Amino acid sequence: MHGMTSDNPAAELMDPRRAEVHWPVRVGAVPARANEFSPRPESAPGLRPALIPGATVALVTGRTAGPDEPGAAGAPALPDWLRLAGKTQLAVAVAESLWQSRNVDLMVWATATSRTSVLAAYSEAAMATSGTAPGGSAESAAARFVGWLNETTRPWLVVLDDLSGAADLRGLWPNGPAGRVLVTAADAVAVPGGIPALPLGLFSHREALNYLMGRLSADPDRRIGAIDLVKELGCEPMALAQACAVITSSAWTCRDYQDAFVRRREQMTDPSGATLPAAAVTWTFSFEQADWLSPDVPAQPLLALIALLDGHGIPAMVLSAPAACGYLAAHHPGARPDADSAGRALLVLERAGLLTIDRTTTAPPMVRISPVLQSALRTMMPEGMLEHAARSAAGALIEAWPQEEQPGWLAESFRSCTASLWRAAGDLLWTGGCHPVLQRAGQSLDNARLTGAAADYWHDLASISERLLGADHPHTLAAVQRLTSAYLAAGRAADAVRWVQWVVDCRVRTLGSDHYDVLVARRDLGHALVAAGQLPGAITVLDQVADDCERLCGPDHLDTLGARDELAAAYLAVGRPADAAGLYRRTLEGRERVQGPRDPQTLTTREGLGDASQADGRTKDAISAYKKVLAGREKVLGPDDLDTIAIHGKLGSIYHTAGKMASAVHSYEQARSGFERVLGPDHPDTLAVRMRLARTYYEVGRLGDARTLLRDTAERCERVLPPGDRLTIQVRTSLADIGTGLRSARA
């Protein structure tokens, strides 16, 4: 990406366009390695040797037996509690080892529970490795990033943590001779076939005993009965961690804990007599210990909020927001919890072994908790508690969500927490209307250019809002309007048309045909019809909208002017450039009177006039219009605004048509340098203008420049665009034509 070449790493470092990229690059919030981490030499052998350049390896749940623990082969499928084998921690250890030893120049850590979370990580990585914000959708940025991974000689590592079977990662699987891919998955079925899967399950007996003795090294007396406790807990990593947390924060020895554990498991065993996994019991001791450790701090109620959010990473500031503190106060009579007491409660929960607080990432600290433990906590919530906790968690998310979203993992953690909360709370977040946090999550997807995910999200929100609130509720209509915009951004114009028509019908039914909101909805319908290529219908709708806006609002009202612009664009698209030009002139006069000649909307209307003039064969008028637009945008928006740069490309085209080849070359060169500067050389807009410039070079006799530029552009197209992309075919065709022309000239 952004000027990299696959055969010359030194050139990548020297490329001046990469001045803002400081290698090595690290993307994503890598969880902190636990202080008591065990490298698992007996129960997890072979990971580091298997993770060689070019390899993809998966760590999956599985019972493993060390030399002291026979009989694991052929064991039945493990319950959920036994999935907590420490796969993420082992992945962290390997990733950090590769990073610290400088064996990788790029490390990307992505939570892989959904396609959206992986796209967000890849989009951030694309920006981090290019030095510029990637243009287009997150899907296109991710595709370019994966293409770069496949070609670069820089050593890289991508970790896809906690891969879910529900995550659709088509087109997102990285590959390449210089890279390593490490996957962790609770379920082996989530891992695509052909990827080597290394099972990770229980500690060996020796590992478990070493772990326990190490955790209790500060007070050797606590170790009494350690061997028996290890056997009783079945060498389960999570159970041992929670047992150690309780023992070190109490007066118990290993023997005391074992006695209490045996009694508790007997009490909890169901009538079938099946033995519960040890972790299904040990967490209850940790839960009680948290209450004992915090008589004046509401630790257990705070855990109820945490159980509803995404355990892969909860920004700690969410849990100290006013809504969270208000919830804690309601469950702790006599106390007035504030942010400080919420922080102390988190420390208590960490000390009891129920969660971890990751302080290694950039602010804010992140709270992590096992999804299995979260599920257990939700099942034990008393009646009525879920709704109170859910609405408090939703309020806390809204209060803590930054107005200006930071790129990367922080925004994704808020979205993931909202998704987790919605799954847990269901319709409880719709009491009195759609909760604002659900709307904010959709807006965040829009802002992150996650177009496909945003369209799916707004569709779900609109459908549920219609079911629960009714079609005419303001929240339903707002969701549908967001949905139509998302569909258009995702290139699903036909779907947008259907939903905009739905809005028009609802508005007319409740407001009448002449209401302002109805005019706006009908204009949106015309816009969607144009995008969908349904041009005759679009012209019919927009013509009526323009007349109605002028009748109701006046000829120079901004809505009237906007409706005329939409209609003129439809005329141009349907092949009526003279009609389009006439309407653009009329609108331009109105905009100059009302908004002034340099207003961005005035300049956009003038650009439309230039487009219509060019299509109508009025080359001189088109050049005049484009030059005025360029001068205005450079003064108002600056030379690096994308609309300013695009005008250079249009001028290049019209100069070429007029036979003014020197001016065409100059304009295309300006467009190329601008797009490369702002979007990078691998962006589709940059690649397209490079192709047009190369063709112009050829026509003015600069054959060597044309062939060199086209060869480089073809290589970039094949690396970053999907197979069979139209632009790639056009570039290859142009290159072949130039080759034929050169051979003919030599003959």
Summarize pLDDT for 82-129 with one digit per residue, the tens: 677 789 999 999 999 999 999 999 999 999 999 999 999 999 998 888
Q: What is the pLDDT of residue 73?
A: 38
Q: What is the pLDDT of residue 33?
A: 85
Residues 429 and 557: their CA atoms lie apart, in Å, by 40
**576, pLDDT greater than 80:** yes
pLDDT for 419-450, tens place per residue? 999 999 999 999 999 999 999 999 999 999 99
| Residues 462 and 479: beta-carbon distance below 8 Å | yes
| Residues 743 and 724: beta-carbon distance below 8 Å | no
Look up residue 11 and give its amino acid.
A
Residues 703 and 685: their CA atoms lie apart, in Å, by 23
Q: What is the pLDDT of residue 362?
A: 58
pLDDT for 541-554, tens place per residue? 999 999 999 999 99
Averaged pLDDT, 247-264: 96
Residues 6+ apart with CB under 8 A from 465: 430, 434, 473, 475, 476, 479
Q: Is 281 exposed, middle or buried (0-12, 13-18, 19+ CB in 10 A)?
A: buried
Report how far apart, in Å, the C-alpha atoms of 736 and of each of 506, 623, 706 are.
Answer: 55, 32, 12
Topology of the domain covering 9-200 = Rossmann fold (3.40.50)
Backbone φ and ψ for 732, nearest 5 degrees, come out as -65, -40
Q: How confident is the model at residue 19 (pLDDT cuts 50, 70, 90)?
A: very low
Q: Is 100 exposed, middle or buried (0-12, 13-18, 19+ CB in 10 A)?
A: exposed
**74, pLDDT greater than 50:** no
Look up residue 126 and give its amino acid.
A
Averaged pLDDT, 280-296: 91
**581, pLDDT greater than 90:** yes
pLDDT for 202-250, tens place per residue? 999 999 999 999 999 999 999 999 999 999 999 999 999 999 999 999 9
**72, pLDDT greater than 90:** no
Average of per-residue pLDDT values in the chain: 88
Coil/strand/helix, residue 312: coil
User: CB 512: neighbour CB atoms within 10 A?
Assistant: 10
Q: Token pair for residue 224?
A: 């009494």
Averaged pLDDT, 696-712: 93
| Residues 626 and 647: beta-carbon distance below 8 Å | yes
Look up residue 482 and give its amino acid.
R
Q: How confident is the model at residue 5 (pLDDT cuts 50, 70, 90)?
A: very low
User: CB 668: neighbour CB atoms within 10 A?
Assistant: 26
**11, pLDDT greater than 90:** no
Q: What is the pLDDT of residue 78?
A: 39
Q: Token pair for residue 169?
A: 């990662």
**135, pLDDT greater than 80:** no
Q: How confident is the model at residue 21 (pLDDT cuts 50, 70, 90)?
A: confident
**454, pLDDT greater than 70:** yes
pLDDT for 344-388, tens place per residue? 899 999 999 999 999 875 567 999 999 999 999 999 888 789 999
Q: How confident is the model at residue 76 (pLDDT cuts 50, 70, 90)?
A: very low
Q: What is the pLDDT of residue 275?
A: 84
Q: How confident is the model at residue 649 (pLDDT cuts 50, 70, 90)?
A: very high
Q: What is the pLDDT of residue 133?
A: 62
Residues 467 and 469: their CA atoms lie apart, in Å, by 6
Look up residue 159 and give its amino acid.
V
Looking at the structure, give the CATH architecture of the domain made up of residues 639-746.
Alpha Horseshoe (1.25)
Q: Token pair for residue 677?
A: 């500067």
Q: What is the pLDDT of residue 2?
A: 34
Q: What is the pLDDT of residue 466?
A: 95
Q: Token pair for residue 94?
A: 């390997």
Predicted model pTM: 0.84
Orientation of helix 339-351 relative to helix 322-330, angle to 10°: 70
pLDDT for 59-71, tens place per residue? 998 744 333 433 3
User: CB 730: neighbour CB atoms within 10 A?
Assistant: 17
